[in-house]
């Protein structure tokens, strides 16, 4: 009899059904963690990081980003939430809950030895049909109506911490999006990450937060007697070190007498003075450089009545260029009159708490902006930033694709009913997983009812009856009471692009995990 041959020297190995069931259980475990974070009655999670920091949030992506998991399928689910956040900025909790349910309904078929390829084929077929049904449920949206935009923001942050301040924050989000909304080569572009900055200032009340049509830097002027308030400043933006240039490598200087040493110092002084004179020739009121500025240069700038700031981040420099109209200059010899920014109407340094902040305010036609966030402590201000970012991304989605779908689980229930009807036309064994997937969409309205403490089976049965004839497509779950309600009357709508991304990501990710038939764990570095 032939002896068994060991080919793979792996630390851990799971095969076929065991690997698939392991992936299913891991996905269900991750979904169960954040299921209670769905809807306006969502619970908060307190997360303690390895650095002893504390995060309080009900944002799905923020929660999963902080937890530590070892199972590869669980890590895949966490990546799914991160991908959803990057793509559309909303629906991170929904996509994980739906993906967990899709994996859960596949478990009985795996146990009955139905081949995963059959299950996956049925799921993909159902996905194609769902994407065909969604446009028939959508409602067109007028992006020029500010009241409709406020409704979109309210729906995005209504389940979050900021729900009490939705009117104020909605106005801030709409004004900010209007500023950065522009066309580049006939393509509409809304770049939230680059053009909107959140400046978090501890202290004060949440109501003190506001939108600044300009830029703010956590900087003070370099010289104590420089002007801290300038109206209509001429701004010069530079990427130049205003100091004597040192040798790039080691430099040796041989000095024969004391006069040579004095002359060397004098040359350095003349070099810096010459740089400042070239800059002062253009009569700027404010010079901002990304690099350093020596004490001697500060003295000469003060003599010319020029206020100076130094050591900026590149992102801040780009934002200042957008709001002032200045062009960043890389050499003093290259400065031109048109490089100076004149769109800013007020430069002012203000002391807030123990810190100094330089404000470039009242800018004409700014292409970037800053949102000043105030709050009693760091945790609350961070949560405000996360919530407001969700609102901004929701606005971006409806402006780029002006379609809305009814919220409160109404869209999912309509999909469930229509796919269940379509399952009749599916022949063969694929009909079973297809029909099961149609029922998986009910997990979102069911979770909304559970999080309200409502009677799940009773309310869900009523909702099925409402959608049975296909006429009540806007009926869903009132997230506050757990009862049935018409979403068009409550003005609860979801972005079309977010809903499409949730369904596609959840089903495609689940199919990928179901196609895994073996989990191999390699050697650690120590064993190698």
Catalytic residue positions, numbered: 59, 92-93, 390
Q: How far is CA 272 from CA 80, 244, 293, 414, in A?
A: 54, 6, 10, 72
d(CA 93, CA 58): 9
Tell me how far apart the alpha carbons of residues 518 and 373 are, in angstroms, rounded to a whole number: 49
Q: How far is the C-alpha of 487 from the C-alpha of 214, rounded, in Å?
A: 38
Q: Give the integer Cα–Cα distance in Å for 334 and 362.
A: 28
Q: Could you tell me where the DSSP H helices lie in 49-115?
A: 60-66, 72-87, 92-111
Distance between CA atoms of residues 29 and 47, nearest Å: 17
How many C-beta atoms surround the C-beta of residue 524 within 10 A? 8
Helix (H) or strand (E) holding 447, with range, is helix 443-452
Residue 480 and residue 155 in contact, taking contact as beta carbons nearer than 8 Å? no
Residue 363's SS3 state is coil
Q: Which residues of 445-460 are buried (b: 16+ CB within 10 A; e: fewer)?
A: bbbbbbbbebebeebb
Q: Is 127 helix (H, G, I), strand (E, B) or coil?
A: helix
d(CA 495, CA 412): 13
């Amino acid at each position: 009899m032939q002896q068994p041959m060991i080919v793979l020297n792996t630390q851990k190995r799971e095969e076929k059904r065991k690997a698939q069931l392991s992936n299913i259980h891991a996905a269900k475990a991750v979904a169960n963690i954040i299921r209670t974070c769905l809807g306006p009655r969502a619970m908060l999670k307190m997360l303690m990081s390895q650095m002893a920091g504390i995060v309080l949030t009900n944002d799905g992506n923020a929660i999963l980003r902080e937890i530590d998991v070892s199972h590869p399928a669980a890590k895949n689910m966490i990546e799914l939430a991160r991908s959803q956040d990057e793509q559309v900025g909303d629906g991170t909790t929904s996509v994980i809950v739906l993906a967990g349910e899709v994996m859960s309904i596949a478990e009985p078929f795996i146990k009955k030895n139905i081949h995963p390829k059959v299950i996956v084929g049925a799921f993909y077929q159902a996905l194609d049909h769902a994407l065909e049904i969604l446009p028939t449920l959508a409602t067109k949206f007028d992006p020029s109506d500010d009241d409709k935009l406020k409704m979109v923001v309210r729906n995005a942050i209504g389940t979050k911490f900021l729900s009490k301040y939705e009117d104020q924050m909605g106005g801030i989000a709409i004004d900010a999006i209007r500023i950065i909304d522009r066309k580049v080569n006939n393509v509409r572009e809304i770049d939230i990450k680059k053009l909107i900055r959140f400046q978090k200032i501890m202290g004060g009340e949440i109501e003190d937060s506001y939108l600044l049509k300009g830029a703010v830097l956590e900087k003070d002027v370099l010289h104590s007697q420089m002007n801290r308030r300038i109206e209509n400043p001429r701004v010069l933006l530079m990427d130049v070190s205003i100091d004597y240039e040192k040798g790039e490598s080691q430099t040796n200087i041989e000095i024969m007498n004391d006069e040579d040493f004095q002359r060397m110092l004098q040359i350095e002084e003349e070099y810096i003075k010459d740089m400042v004179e070239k800059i002062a020739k253009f009569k700027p009121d404010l010079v901002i450089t990304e690099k350093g500025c020596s004490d001697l240069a500060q003295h000469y700038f003060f003599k010319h009545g020029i206020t100076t700031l130094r050591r900026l981040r590149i992102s801040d420099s780009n934002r200042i260029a957008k709001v002032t109209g200045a062009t960043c200059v890389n050499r003093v010899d290259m400065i031109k009159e048109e490089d100076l920014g004149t769109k800013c109407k007020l430069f002012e340094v203000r002391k807030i708490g123990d810190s100094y902040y330089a404000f470039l305010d009242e800018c004409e036609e700014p292409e970037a902006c800053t949102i000043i966030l105030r709050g009693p402590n760091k945790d609350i201000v961070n949560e405000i930033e996360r919530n407001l970012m969700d609102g901004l991304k929701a606005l971006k989605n409806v402006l780029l694709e002006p379609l809305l779908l009814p919220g409160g689980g109404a869209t999912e229930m309509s999909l469930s009913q229509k796919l269940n009807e379509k399952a009749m036309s599916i022949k063969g064994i694929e009909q079973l997983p297809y029909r099961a997937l149609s029922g998986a969409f009910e997990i979102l309205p069911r979770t909304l009812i559970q999080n309200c403490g409502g009677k799940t089976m009773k309310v869900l049965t009523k909702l099925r009856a409402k959608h049975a004839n296909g006429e009540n497509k806007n009926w869903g779950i009132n997230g506050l009471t757990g009862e049935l309600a018409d979403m068009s009357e409550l003005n609860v709508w979801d972005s079309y692009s977010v809903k499409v991304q949730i369904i596609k990501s959840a089903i495609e990710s689940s199919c990928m995990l179901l196609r895994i038939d073996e989990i191999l764990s390699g050697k650690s570095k120590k064993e190698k």
